[in-house]
Amino acid sequence: MTKGRIRAKIRRSHLYTFGCIRPPADQGDAPTQFNGPGFSRIVHCNQPKPQDKRNAVKYCTNYISTTKYNFFNFVPKALFEQFRRVANVYFLLTAALSLTDIAPFSAVSMIAPLAFVIGLSMAKEALEDSRRFIQDMKVNTRKANFHKGDGEFGQKPWMKLFVGDVVKVEKDKFFPADLLLLSSSYEDGICYVETMNLDGETNLKVKRALEVTLPLDDDSSFKKFTGRIKCEDPNPNLYTFMGNFEYDHEVYPLDPGQILLRDSKLRNTAYIYGVVIFTGHDSKVMQNATKSPSKRSRIERQMDRIIYILFSLLLLISLISSIGFGAKTGYEMPNFWYLRPYDDSKFYDPTRPALSGFYHLVTALILYGYLIPISLYVSIEVVKVLQAFFMNQDIHMFDEDTGTPAQARTSNLNEELGQVDTILSDKTGTLTCNQMDFLKCSIAGCPYGTRASEVEFAAAQQMATDLEDEDDSDINKNVIDEIELETIITSGEDHRRVIKGFSFEDSRLLNGNWMKEPKSEQLLLFFRILSVCHTAIPEVNEETGEVTYEAESPDESAFLVAAREFGFEFCRRTQSSVYVRERYPSYDNPVEREFKILGLLDFTSKRKRMSVMIRGEDGQIYLFCKGADSIIFDRLAKDGRELEGVTTKHLNEYGDAGLRTLALSFRKLEEEEFSSWNEEFLKAKTAIGNDREARLEKVSEMMEKDLILVGATAVEDKLQKGVPQCIDKLAQAGLKIWVLTGDKMETAINIGFSCSLLRQGMKQICISATNAEGSEQEQKEAIKEDIMQQITDSSKMITLEKDPHAAFALIIDGKTLVYALEDDMKYQFLSLAVGCASVICCRVSPRQKALVTRLVKEGTGKTTLAIGDGANDVGMIQEADIGVGISGVEGMQAVMASDFAIAQFRFLERLLVVHGHWCYKRVAQMICYFFYKNIAFGLTLFYFEALAGFSGETVYDDWYMLLFNVVLTSLPVISLGVFEQDVSSDVCLQFPALYQQGPNNLFFDWYRIFGWMGNGLYTSLIIFYVSIFIFHHQAFRTDGHTADMATMGTSMFTCIIWGVNLQIALTMSHFTWIQHFIIWGSVFSWYIFLILYGLLPPDRSLNGYKLLVGALAPSPKFWLATLLITILCNIPYMAHISFQRTFRPLDHHVIQEIKHYKKDIEDRRMWNRERSKARQETKIGLSARVDAKIRQLKGRLTKKYSLIGMSPQH
């Protein structure tokens, strides 16, 4: 590449009217006068060491951290996180009580499990946070070129930069800190900055250095450079800056035009020099970030409430046990002389039964602790880590282009993925890939371009599928014919060479064929406007001779590529001319033509247009103007509106196809007219005062009028692969989607159409702030009143709408959001937004993104997910219940702050609809089952204690109780949480409405929770009392002996093992050899344990010595009792599930039966009908667009049939 050699000769500021106004040095603005709080920062340029000596405040380093913990706070903060869980507090208290004499178990048996659980959870937190630390260090150790001294530059890591350092940043590199621009590779100090990472804007920003620092344009010039900056303190405002620069005994005012922000990128400029003003967490982008929050899922928070309930149950039965023991001690203990009650007056004192009862209360609280299972948290941690592992290994979420897999950066929120209600998405880099393709155009009233946009192609595929799914009818066949007639779908195969920025297909304009068209003169004008009306710079590859363009926006680059393919190649630029290599009048013999640039009125978001005045080789002066159609149409001459009607029709069609449009126009100028205008223009350009921009705009209006419309362009803002289909699937799953972008409103609306968040026929509600007169306070009140009125009127309009198919879209900009997010208005705004099908917030700052996310999260009380790819998205990613980062090419800030990272937006569909659905259901079911089995086990301890006179004795051996949760029932519940699938991943994607089971909390509502608790209560009653009935008064051994406590306890425990493991087998819908091995292996391991335990010496095995082999196994009663009790325990669940599947089946029950009987293969029509029924009714996405199109075509055909007096069925 030429690497700036051509560009360095051009004073770029001459190309800009509004963006780079610099008054003469002797007429500049006066230095800003400020004192007091908020303006205390003093920077000594090129003298980093004196910063600390000359200032009372020590500025922070350039080291940044997005981690949750550090070396010093890890232990206390991680412990705090663990003891936010209510159950852990209970176990801590019981562990402390186990150190006393009243504990029924040894202290080690209580403390060791707690330490293991807490330690494992803290280790997981440390592991996940270490990944964030590694990513932080990748940023902190990036190399920066800094001035070492004596005019020499060297490299050091970003984190070692200090305030006052002079740095050199080269093209396509990120700025390491907030910098004051001193000079650039252009002689007039202009540089181009891409701020997409900060505010989502795709257009390049033009920054300019102070004229006094322009001589500092090489390394050696900094040998003796010193200066002093006094400016505002660190703050999050990206678009404001106030300060003064003291240099060479003069003071110069500073404004945002000289400030380069951290994480923005240098583009189209070989290099710049700058001095560091704000470092690290003082930089504006980091000021917009928030501390890494501690997030807990809704299920985990609800689990705390269940723990409260179980603790209340535990307290109740402990009180009953305590009262019973006190009564026994006071009334019956004196009669039990053989127990020698008076020997231990502390615990068994008949004279003080209340005190004995109190001590027994503590014993009971520990004894019945199995109702609150400590192993639950360990199991959940293990399950979530394994779920995260399988997410990371999902080949369907692996991006082959970048080699990037999905990454679950925290496993705490896996189940939360299945309960999302609202998605808040960034636009640039998340939905789009910041690439524009020239696709269609309208010239002289004739549309050109036969290739369908991605939206049209996807919609046509969806429409064809939907119509095939419906019952056959003549009208449907006619609709399909109508679709084919309208050529909605074009061939997906493309044998042309791929040209970046150019996807146009139409032989009428290519290869010089345009010269054969009837209106070739207007076509010639159109192509010349494309090739001349811009501010781009060509770069020539010296090896291949190929020309590439460095433009301020992707749109402009796409226009130049299109012009080149049409035969008008912009090849070079000088200070005063543009040269175009035209294949005209002969396509085979290109001619290089010069167009002299007489003036240029550049594009701004306020003007929404740009114009260039050129003199052709024939001496004629032209004004070429391109801009938003509404702006251009307002400026057309009376005789220039000939094409307005037909062009408007084409523009609407392009907009419905999701394309970005611009109108092109021209005007011939007389020499005298231009000369007189130019004098006025130069006066306005060099004027001094606050009205300079207004004067320039007024003069520009004088020239940009009486235009003649030539045509319009339609470019496709290339969406990331699969975005329309992903949004459609998420909409069918019942999710609401908001787009929050820093781009201007027109761009955001175009993307809304591209993504099918907007469509033709949808009623757009645009809330905007209008200017008001009066004092500042009066203006604010008037603006707020106006916005509130707009919100009120819009809400009424939605309420009064009677059309069931009507859809509303809310569009609001950042300026209006400032007022809409205030406390007295935000809930009215939220109510309006919730009533709309889609919401687009444009021109929003990073902080506003976070505030909108917080409003949705707190105002609706439902789960929110934020997704973005840049530093400007960090705030909303951290504020949302779930943050998803796109690991794109624009840095890793979003990923570093996220909970989950994916490479493409389309993977969000699988992350939520498949993994989210599975994880929610798995975790919900395993928690319910965990409580069920522990209630079933724990209550048998209470029943036996009541039977044994509240003695504190347990019916089970200590080893049984220890192994119950750790070995015998732990692996089946983990397999449930890791491998369970109610339906396969393909079915999840085909039936997206299944996802609503999560947001509706179908599997973890109180009805289901109490149902499982009731099932546990029933199971405990059956196991205990049926066992007592069978074994208590009847002979067990062949010699006539009845069953002793060891035999009774082991038999009951065997029934529990069989009952709960059979229950989990019945709960599972998806079996592999792994589940079979784990469930039946757990049951089998119980018998293995009994055999091995019985082989130990009697002093070790105690009552368990040869218990199975010698007593239980030979007894038919033992095996029959086990079989009978196991069946009785599971009868209620089998009855419930049979009734439900027969009379009130859930969606997944229906699908399971269809799959089981292979109806999806044998009867495709029924399968497709069920699929269409399983879609949530939505007003956004491709499906909504298709439904609207089908209704339109059916209406058109019905009308056609009615006109000819014929029924559509005939």
Q: Are strands 166-170 and 271-278 parallel, antiparallel or unpaired?
A: antiparallel
Helix (H, G, I), strand (E, B) or coil at 713: strand
The rounded distance, in Å, linking the Cα atoms of 884 and 425 is 10
What is the pLDDT at residue 179? 94
Q: Is the pLDDT of residue 182 over 90?
A: yes
The rounded distance, in Å, linking the Cα atoms of 427 and 719 is 10
Q: Is the pLDDT of residue 488 over 50?
A: no
Q: Which two tokens stand for residue 860?
A: 């609706």
From the list 992, 974, 984, the residue with the least C-alpha distance to 922 is 974
- Going by pLDDT thresholds of 50, 70 and 90, the confidence category of residue 314 is confident
**Other Cβ atoms closer than 10 A to 605:** 13
Question: For residue 406, what are the CA distances in angstroms to 99, 397, 608?
Answer: 47, 6, 40
Q: pLDDT, tens digit, for every residue of 990-1030?
A: 888 889 999 999 999 999 999 999 999 999 999 999 988 88
- Going by pLDDT thresholds of 50, 70 and 90, the confidence category of residue 26 is very low
What is the pLDDT at residue 1151? 85
The rounded distance, in Å, linking the Cα atoms of 329 and 342 is 11
What is the pLDDT at residue 887? 79
Omega prior to 585 cis, within 30 of 0: yes
Give mean pLDDT, residues 378-392.
89
- Going by pLDDT thresholds of 50, 70 and 90, the confidence category of residue 1063 is very high
What is the pLDDT at residue 1210? 42
What average pLDDT is seen over the chain?
82
Which of 595-604, 633-642, 1099-1108, 1126-1135 shows the highest mean pLDDT? 1126-1135
- Going by pLDDT thresholds of 50, 70 and 90, the confidence category of residue 487 is very low
What is the pLDDT at residue 656? 75
Which 3-state string (H, E, C) describes 90-105? HHHHHHHHCCCCCCCC
For the entire predicted model, the pTM comes to 0.79
Q: Among 628-632, 723-727, 800-804, 849-853, whose mean pLDDT is lowest?
A: 800-804
Give mean pLDDT, residues 160-184.
92
Question: For residue 733, what are the CA distances in angstroms to 984, 1153, 1175?
Answer: 16, 22, 7
Sign of CA dihedral 271, 274, 280, 283: negative
Q: Is the pLDDT of residue 175 over 70?
A: yes
- Of residues 692 and 405, more confidently modeled: 405
Q: pLDDT, tens digit, for every residue of 452-469?
A: 877 777 666 666 665 555
Q: Among 127-141, 286-300, 1043-1057, whose mean pLDDT is lowest?
A: 286-300
How far out from the chain centre does Cα 219 lie? 43
- Of residues 979 and 1185, more confidently modeled: 979
Q: Is the pLDDT of residue 777 over 70?
A: yes
Give mean pLDDT, residues 932-954.
83
Q: Is the pLDDT of residue 19 over 60?
A: no
Q: Among 53-62, 162-171, 369-378, 1152-1161, whose mean pLDDT is lowest?
A: 53-62
What is the pLDDT at residue 32? 56
Catalytic residues: 426
Q: Among 257-271, 286-300, 313-327, 561-575, whose mean pLDDT is lowest?
A: 286-300
What is the pLDDT at residue 71? 82
DSSP per residue, 783-845: HHHHHHHHHHHHHHHHHH---TT--EEEEEEHHHHHHHTSTTTHHHHHHHHHTSSEEEEES--
Q: pLDDT, tens digit, for every residue of 53-68?
A: 444 457 888 998 878 8
- Going by pLDDT thresholds of 50, 70 and 90, the confidence category of residue 147 is very high
Q: In the chain, what is the straight-line distance between the N-terminal and C-terminal CA atoms, in Å?
A: 68
Q: pLDDT, tens digit, for every residue of 688-719?
A: 666 777 788 888 888 888 899 999 999 988 77
What is the pLDDT at residue 113? 76
- Going by pLDDT thresholds of 50, 70 and 90, the confidence category of residue 1139 is very high
What is the pLDDT at residue 492? 42
Q: Among 238-247, 296-305, 332-341, 485-494, whose mean pLDDT is lowest?
A: 485-494
Q: pLDDT, tens digit, for every residue of 349-370?
A: 666 777 777 877 878 887 777 7
- Going by pLDDT thresholds of 50, 70 and 90, the confidence category of residue 34 is low
- Going by pLDDT thresholds of 50, 70 and 90, the confidence category of residue 48 is low
- Of residues 289 and 655, more confidently modeled: 655
What is the pLDDT at residue 477? 52
- Of residues 510 and 890, more confidently modeled: 510
Sign of CA dihedral 619, 621, 624, 630: negative
Q: pLDDT, tens digit, for every residue of 205-243?
A: 888 898 889 888 888 899 888 999 998 889 887 778 888
DSSP per residue, 935-1000: HHHHHHHHHHHHHTTS----SS-HHHHHHIIIIITHHHHHHHHHH--SS-HHHHHH-GGGGGGTTT
Q: Is the pLDDT of residue 336 over 70?
A: no
Give mean pLDDT, residues 515-541.
88
Q: Is the pLDDT of residue 1134 over 90?
A: yes
From the list 987, 1001, 998, 853, the residue with the least C-alpha distance to 910 is 987
Which of 95-99, 119-123, 1165-1169 shows the highest mean pLDDT? 119-123
Q: Among 80-89, 486-495, 1164-1173, whose mean pLDDT is lowest?
A: 486-495
